[in-house]
Amino acid sequence: MASCPVCLEPFSDSGDRLPRAFPCLHTICAACVDTLAGAFSSTVTCPTCRQQARITDVRTNFALVEQLQSLALLVSAGGNGAIATLDDHTLAASAPPQEALLPLADPHPWDVGSQNMYESTTLQAFRFPVPASQKSKNEIEWESDRRAILWDWGRRREERMHRPPRCLMDQMVSGGGYYPPRLLDSSWLTPREQAMVDQLEVLLHDTHHAGNLARDMLTPLLFDVDVRIVLD
């Protein structure tokens, strides 16, 4: 069952254990938000990625609340023993669209912080579309301009994610400046690339995170990176 990563207590659909999401999209319980913020502070630091946010921007994670309410209905319908059949994969598969979870109405693509692909609370559905000004380009121009856009987004994202002091390496940041393809919708992909994603999703089905992992595996292709494996 999903639990707060700070206090490790199970989330609930009300009260102190109500899940609340930071602008970086990480989620902890309401009690831990209050504890981290303190009595007189107007800001709070995300315990996962260390990004600061205003208290007013740490909103209820309604997507997770709906999961918890659905779980409660299943348990009440099937008896106490039903809880044993509901694991994190079940919760993740039943999650509503990510738009319901985003704490900001119009987040920038580079506002999304670090994500653990194997946590049930990791966002799955929300992906950013191609900017309207880029949609009429031919494929050759598009692939070049796409790289430039994604390099810019990746650089901005890593700058936001990097925790102080800036002079030190941050293990939460790759340093490569690659923007994660899992955060892009299908309008970014050519028909050939979409076919590759479809094939990878079949192969990765048993991971329960096939959509995100398949897109991320296209990173070298989207950024035109020459990857060579040397077997000695």
What integer best gives the mean pLDDT of the chain?
78
Per-residue confidence (pLDDT) for residue 99, from 0 to 100: 38
Confidence band, pLDDT 50/70/90 cuts, at residue 87? very low
Per-residue confidence (pLDDT) for residue 135, from 0 to 100: 63
Which of these, 70, 153, 75, lies nearest to 108 by C-alpha position?
A: 153
Per-residue confidence (pLDDT) for residue 154, from 0 to 100: 92
Which of these, 132, 123, 183, 126, lies nearest to 153 by C-alpha position?
A: 183
Per-residue confidence (pLDDT) for residue 28, from 0 to 100: 92
Confidence band, pLDDT 50/70/90 cuts, at residue 220? very high
Please give the average per-residue pLDDT across 78-92, as a whole number. 43
Rounded CA-CA distance 56/49 in Å is: 18
Which residues, in sequence order, are bridge partners of residue 52?
45
Per-residue confidence (pLDDT) for residue 189, from 0 to 100: 92
Q: Mind listing the pLDDT tens digit for each residue in 4-51? A: 989 989 888 888 999 999 988 889 999 999 999 887 788 899 988 888
Per-residue confidence (pLDDT) for residue 32, from 0 to 100: 93
Q: Mind listing the pLDDT tens digit for each residue in 111-154? A: 877 776 665 555 444 688 888 777 666 778 888 899 999 999 99
Most confident range, picked from 17-31, 36-50, 85-99, 163-177:
17-31
Q: Phi first, then psi: give them for residue 126, nearest 5 degrees.
A: -75, 125
Q: Which two tokens stand for residue 2?
A: 């999903």
Q: Determine contact, residues 114/172, Cβ cutoff 8 Å.
A: yes
pLDDT(63) > 90: no
Per-residue confidence (pLDDT) for residue 94, from 0 to 100: 38
- For residue 50, count other CB atoms closer than 10 A to its CB: 16
pLDDT(89) > 60: no
Phi-psi region of 8 (alpha: psi -120 to 50; beta: other; left: phi over 0): left
pLDDT(106) > 70: no
pTM for the model: 0.54
Please give the average per-residue pLDDT across 87-112, as a whole number. 51
Give residues with Cβ within 8 angstroms of 103, minimum separation 6.
21, 22, 23, 25, 57, 58, 59
